[in-house]
Amino acid sequence: MTTTTVLARNYKLGRAYQADGWYSFINDESYTDEQRDALMDALMDAQVEELDSLLPEGCHWVPRLGEIHGPITATLGGIDLDEALKAASDAVAERFEQIEADTLGNQ
């Protein structure tokens, strides 16, 4: 088993901070609270996938902890986390209609 470590930790990596942004993004009175929560969860999941794809191999974002974890040999050198988070959220926003349909299609 590979030993891992915390490569980054800050409030912008936290679920509460990111969820607030997604709730603002989907601020639409037509959603029920349950739909809004389900959609926010789906958007967060997609954002995690997008950010993980921008990180070095073996590294992953853990929003619940506000951290990026990875092997002890990994480094985030050269990665601007603010830019990477923005790129990840922009990619998710571009797919919003599909994520919405997949999440709320049966509701």
- Distance from the Cα of residue 99 to its chain's centroid: 14
Task: Give the tokens for residue 80.
Answer: 């601007």
Residues in the chain: 107
Q: Residue 30: what pLDDT?
A: 87
**Could you tell me the residue range of the domain that residue 59 belongs to?**
4-104
Q: Residue 107: what pLDDT?
A: 55
Number of domains the chain is built from: 1
* CA 3/CA 17 separation, integer angstroms: 28
Chunked into runs of 10 residues, the chain (107 residues) has average pLDDT values of 89 97 90 94 98 96 97 93 97 97 83
Q: Residue 28: what pLDDT?
A: 79
Q: Residue 1: what pLDDT?
A: 63
* CA 40/CA 90 separation, integer angstroms: 15
